[in-house]
Structure 1
Amino acid sequence: MTIQKIAYSVFVAFMASLFTLVSVNALSSSDPDDAADDDLDPITLEELAEHDGAESCWKAIHGRVYDVTDYVPDHPTEEDVVLEWCGREATEGWDNKRPGVPHSPRAEGLLEAYLIGRLVDEEGEPVEAATEDTDTVAERLSPAEDERLHRAMLGLPLDGRYRGVFIDRGVIQVNITFDLEDGHFTGLAYRHLAYRDDDYLAMEEGDDLYPVLVQYRQILERLEGQPVTAIFALYEPERVVDDVDGYTGATLRGAKVISAIRDALNRGVYAWP
């Protein structure tokens, strides 16, 4: 074989290899996840909202919908933590297991087993999660300006929405939600308040234990606008609430409310302002 033929053969082989690489790259340029999403059943926000409890818990995360009903009892935290996100877009909670810390790759692998569809609007178009662009945040704030960073480094609670529970013997007695603004309480509310078979939030004026509900509400009224440290007054609830129809502060269990608030602070921000 002459040198010219060898050179020609090498050139042909090189061009064939180059063509193959270009073809493979073109075929793989489309996102495989996008192709997979096209095969998933479309699920609207309205349909998603129908599955908002322990009996049927669906979540939307990054445009995909997951039926995690069977996993709720196996979740390592209290069931209430998972149920908070049932029936709605839950990307924010997934990406912030703790403030700024997403769930692990192992958790992502577990999640895929519960994939059932893709989230769409009424026109059938994909619904994307509304998440903040971290690159934009980094460009906007320097370490010298980022108050969240300052508070975190000093061990101070961050501004945001918090949710916490007090559980005794596996039963939730107090579930509380509140916002912090510069370390002060706002928007305090009970999401669950019960003892044994008594659901205080379901009581109406005239019920025997309704005065106790009034006192529990007074706790939140007195904490509104106060700094976080005001919770320690609840160790002596008679200093915080009024005597109503013969019920004294001793009727209350202020330590339960303190525990629920501290549980919320330990969990970290539930939602950013």
Structure 2
Amino acid sequence: MNKIAYTAFVAFVSSVLSLLAVNALSLAGEERDADELPLITLDELAEHDSAESCWKAIHGRVYDITRYVPDHPTDEAVIREWCGKEASEGWDNKRPGVPHSPRAQDRLERYLIGRLERSDAAPWEAVVVESVADSTEAQEREPSVDERLARALLGLPLDGHYRGVFTDRGSIQINVTFDLRDGRIHALEYRHLAYRGVDYLALEEGDEGYAVLLQHRQIAERLEGEPVTRIFALYEPERVVDDIDGFSGATLRGGKVISAIRDALNRGVYSWP
């Protein structure tokens, strides 16, 4: 009986060691093949800009994350924003100044499919080296702490271009884009504004609901140049917009606009000025 148990134990250990060896060889093969990955142009990348086929480029490497989209912990609209694009900025700023974790990086590598070909044919590694050199020279000229880093450490929003959404039951109702400069809102626009199947951005004067579109436009106008904290006034919309054509301030649902703007701030800078 002991002989049988011993034989089974040896067989089990041998199987485990074999699996580990195969896995190690597989990983080594992946490392070797990384430098031989196919080149993917920006035009090819841009063709895969949906949840059904989502590719994104991060620091010169291209990933097909289509299979991961349904498992992403945040709303699908968040990850769709980066499909078909160079997404290093979003990857390095999961929150302002805070990159994705090493664990997320390990998971990302499972979806590696190629290398991004720059339009000027310059290798991405050279761009990184030049960027580091420029940063070093700047520090030698100016010994003070980088302003963006200081703001991030203090939990303050960084200057830059932002995008954010408000969704309800998987449907995007509001998608905003705006700039922050010195903590003030500029150029607020709506990329999407809809409710119960009505696309408010497509309405014309005289259409039912057009007054609500005008109210949202007033928000954009009256937040121009205001501190970002001004968005909380939208909890009482009548303080920001006019009562147009019998529509009360409550019709506005200002909380949705607040949520979209806060979503943008939580996601971090979409692009730098």
The CA RMSD measured in Å over matched residues stands at 2.8
CA-to-partner distance for each residue in 1:112-170, whole Å, 9 max, x for gaps? 222222222569x4663866835643652467453224433443322122222223334
- Cα deviation for residue 192 of structure 1 reads 2.1
- Cα deviation for residue 223 of structure 1 reads 0.4
- Cα deviation for residue 263 of structure 1 reads 2.5
3-state secondary structure, aligned to 1:66: strand
Residues 181-196 of structure 1 aligned to structure 2 (within 5 Å) = 181-196=181-196
> Match of 1:151, as an amino acid?
R
Q: Normalising by structure 2, what TM-score?
A: 0.76
Match of 1:44 in 2: 41
Match of 2:135 in 1: 137
Identity %: 69
Q: How many residues align?
A: 241
- Cα deviation for residue 83 of structure 1 reads 1.0
CA-to-partner distance for each residue in 1:167-192, whole Å, 9 max, x for gaps? 33343322222111001101211222
Higher helix proportion:
2
3-state secondary structure, aligned to 2:124: coil
Change (3 A) 1:266 1:120: closer
Instruction: Give the Cα separation in 1 of the matches to 2:123 and 2:49.
Output: 18
CA-to-partner distance for each residue in 1:177-236, whole Å, 9 max, x for gaps? 211100110121122222222222233333211221121111011101111122122122
Residues 54-203 of structure 1 aligned to structure 2 (within 5 Å) = 54-121=51-118, 125=121, 128=124, 133-134=131-132, 136-137=134-135, 140-141=138-139, 144-203=144-203
- Cα deviation for residue 70 of structure 1 reads 1.6
Instruction: Give the Cα separation in 2 of the matches to 1:96 and 1:252.
Output: 31
3-state secondary structure, aligned to 1:204: coil
**Structure 2 residue 251 is matched with structure 1 residue 251:** yes
3-state secondary structure, aligned to 2:225: coil
User: Considering only CA atoms, is the larger Rg found in Structure 1 or Structure 2?
Assistant: 1
- Cα deviation for residue 35 of structure 1 reads 6.2
CA-to-partner distance for each residue in 1:11-45, whole Å, 9 max, x for gaps? xxxxxxxxxxxxxxxxxxxxx98963553333221
Change (3 A) 1:220 1:162: same
Instruction: Give the Cα separation in 2 of the matches to 1:149 and 1:62.
Output: 20
CA-to-partner distance for each residue in 1:75-112, whole Å, 9 max, x for gaps? 11111221111111112222232333332232222222
> Match of 1:81, as an amino acid?
V
Match of 2:12 in 1: none
Higher relative contact order (CA 8 A, sep 6+): 2
* Further displaced range: 222-231 or 238-247: 238-247
